[in-house]
Structure 1
Amino acid sequence: MSVLSIEEQAVVDTVRDFVDREVKPAVNEVEQRDEYPEKWIEQMKELGIYGLAIPEPWGEAPVSMPCYALVTAELARGWMSLAGAMGGHTVVAKLLVEFGTREQQDRYLPRMATGELRATMALTEPGGGSDLQNMATHARLESSPDGDHYVVNGSKTWISNARRSGLIALLCKTDPAAEPKHRGISVLLVEHGPGLTVSKDLHKLGYKGVETCELVFEDMRVPAEAVLGTTPGKGFGQMMKGLETGRIQVASRALGVADAALTDALRYSQERESFGKPIWQHQSVGNYLADMATKITAARQLLLYAAGRYDAGERCDMEAGMAKLFTSEIAMEVALNAVRIHGGYGYSTEFDVERYFRDAPLMIVGEGTNEIQRNVIAAQMVKRGGLDRT
């Protein structure tokens, strides 16, 4: 039974048709050239994908979180990089809608809705990983005749879409002496300019086409009113709320990759014969397919459960963490089993399954490693007194 309205299901169907018609036939060539998918990004803009989370008066009526999750999964089914090209953008849009001032919303959201302006997040640091409270990047407030401003210094790494995003939601310390540490952390809305350098592109196993970069801030001046919501010291809580969206988005990417891997494995198992019968009829292959399908179905339901709680206004950091943890792990497993089913061809770049196997690990380590997800889940179970049973 669909959790979506007729209108939202039509949105998902439109994106599915786009993926099947435009992306699937050419994705291997584009991916192997590590080429930025300019044409597909423009088509995604036309489809309204960059505005899915932005309400009126800045955009159209936003879709529900379950719809957004399934749109993301469809994009990832075609190419995980396409889902990555709009993931951070959506998180920043939701941060602006929930926490931004009206001036900040009016400045950024209309252009973000059309994709004219794209956004990304800058959280991770070279020496910090998932330990965000111990970040070194800091912003010092200064006064001058032309107004108060922050002077930003530090570096961030693993920033997707860093060169092509005109807006960066930068997590940094505005009060390094604050205790507890999270009270000294703010989100600054930073645009490219003097003092900000995109220092290098990081070369990756998968997730090709979309750039992933290091950012270096050297005495970059940012207006004081660039603090998200204008009140400093609230950035950690704001970004933790944003990461609920981010983890649902990463889980959706993993679901799309797993779905694509199963589809290809199922088709190949019916076409390929050995010992006089299609290989799906061999028990070992049939067992792989059955397990893959069962786990993908479970992952989809877990993802939609987390997305539904988000829309209901309920806390869902544990549920989003569960969805991200489980779905990313089964995506890796399903991609590997798809390679097994394809045999030697699964190791060939002529078949999509080797790409799925290279793309899947990103979701295990991205948006907080799965080890971090387990910590979040355990802590929330203790805090809540066990699992919710409603």
Structure 2
Amino acid sequence: MALDSDTLAQLCATLRRFVDEQLIPAEAEVAETDAIPARIVAQMRELGLFGLTAPEEFGGLGLTMEEEVLAIFELGRAAPAFRSMFATNVGIGMQGIAIDGTAEQKAKYLPDLASGALIGSFALTEPDVGSDAGSVRTTARREGDYYILNGTKRFITNAPHAGLFTVMARTDPEKKGAAGVSAFAVERDTPGLSLGKPEKKLGQQGAHVCDVIFDNCRVPIGQLIGGIEGQGFKTAMKVLDKGRLHIAAACVGLSERIIDDMVGYAVQRRQFGKPLADFQLLQAMFADSKADAYAARCMVLDAARKRDSGQDVSLEASCAKMFASEAVGRIADRNVQVHGGNGYIREYRAEQLFRDARLFRIYEGTTQIQQIIIAKALTTEARERAGL
């Protein structure tokens, strides 16, 4: 249910204060320790960040897509690792159950996911299967009242902390592609489930990923999301459309933060007897960055409003995710350039945000996957108009 304008404004203002007063000051600590401090995770729970989009009847805020992206514009201003801590609960780690789960599955898991007592994770990517959800090789073989899962999932966000995994596995080996894939809610302590060691990454320290390994993992049949085989790909696509808008909103927030840092530095730093901000070549970088961020914001809001109205926004979500993630990369690069030598020094945070921003162009569908989705939609539409 949509919030009234005053409540929404108050929520966004509260989130902005949280970012400015708690998250940004802790960025250096998180980068050095590769961990989100427990005090901040507790504050996230108190603010209801884990349940931003969970249905109200299960203890969440039930934000609409537009409200969610407005909230993420604010939260995305901090280093991305903070958002990653709760984002799988808000999005891909919870939405599969919220959208397609049975009544029993929703009642069992959504309250704890909304409160942050339970961390959810989305297990789709595999060693030889990235953005192509229809090529999943992890198998789920029915055996009496259980499914036996075998396979490995790779680069799974929040896996080291997760108590629940939404797992895509192939239940029908005879059906090639997406038709044979199903979705399962698999609890962390299920026999046969184990974790690899956390990966060391280029950026986003404090956000942890690792392999999730299924070795004859016995999953009760009641954990088949929605209770229907062969619906996993459809569930994944519903989750990813929403997730891509969330990621695009995070890119907008980080872009706007970086622009503030960039221009703020340039008006104070002096060279050749005047502020850097007075040099026209740098002013062009400011202008290009602002146009990038503004265009991305408009795209995300437009797609979010269309989704709230019930429209299919797969095309728009891909456009927004592609553009916003590429834009934040350009802006982060310009920020390093404006900072000059200081941009390469950790103290100024420009190099950290540059490394952090790089991942946005990869996860939840690379830029190239978004291009394929967009092109396919356009050519399909053109063929239909031509009667082909």
Shorter-normalised TM range: over 0.9
Q: Against the structure 1 CA distance between its residues 157 and 310, is the aligned structure 2 distance closer, same or farther, given a 3 Å change threshold?
A: same
Is this contact kept in 2: 1:95–1:238, CA < 8 A? yes
Distance 1:279 1:36 in 2: 35
Question: Which sections of structure 1, spanning at least 5 residues, go unmatched?
Answer: none
Aligned to 1:128: 129
Q: Name stretches of at least 5 consecutive residues in structure 2 with no aligned partner.
A: 384-388
Aligned 1:1-390 pairs, distance under 5 A: 5-91=5-91, 92-143=93-144, 148-179=145-176, 181-193=177-189, 194-385=191-382
Q: How far off its partner does 1:76 sit?
A: 2.4
Aligned equivalents of 2:209, 2:162: Cα separation in 1: 11
Q: Which amino acid is 2:62 matched to?
A: P
**Secondary structure at 1:229 match in 2:** helix
SS in 2 for 1:201: coil
| Cα separation, 1, equivalents of 2:217 and 2:198 | 21
Amino acid across the alignment from 2:33: R
Partner deviation per Cα, 1:202-243 (whole Å, 9 max, x = no partner): 110001112110111000000011111001111101110110
Given that residues 120 and 162 in structure 1 are in contact (C-alpha distance below 8 angstroms), is that contact kept between their aligned partners in structure 2?
A: yes
Q: Distance in 2 between matches of 1:61 and 1:27?
A: 27
Number of aligned residues = 379
Q: Secondary structure at the match of 1:190?
A: strand
RMSD across aligned positions (CA): 1.5
Query: SS of the counterpart of 1:77?
Result: coil
Cα distance change, pair 354–10 in 1 and its aligned pair in 2 (3 A): same
CA 1:4 to 1:329, structure 2 compared with 1: closer, same or farther past 3 Å? farther
SS in structure 2 of the partner of residue 204 of structure 1 = coil
The percentage of counterpart residues that share the same residue type is 36
Distance 1:113 1:29 in 2: 27
Q: TM-score, normalization: structure 1?
A: 0.94
Separation (CA, whole Å) in 1 of partners of 2:236 and 2:130: 15
In 2, distance between residues paired with 1:4 and 1:301? Answer: 21
1:183 touches 1:233 (CA, 8 Å); kept in 2?
Answer: yes
Runs (4+) off by over 6 Å: none
Quick one: which amino acid aligns to residue 81 of structure 1?
A
Instruction: Provide the C-alpha distance between the structure 2 equivalents of 1:313 and 1:97, rounded to a whole number of angstroms.
Output: 17
Letter in 1 for 2:130: G
Decide which moves more: 94-103 or 353-362: 94-103
- Normalising by the residue count of structure 2, what TM-score does the alignment of the two structures yield? 0.94
Does the residue aligned with 1:25 lie in a helix, a strand or coil?
A: helix
SS of residue matched to 1:218? strand
Q: Residue deviations 1:359-389, cap 9 Å, x none?
A: 1110101101100000001111223349xxx
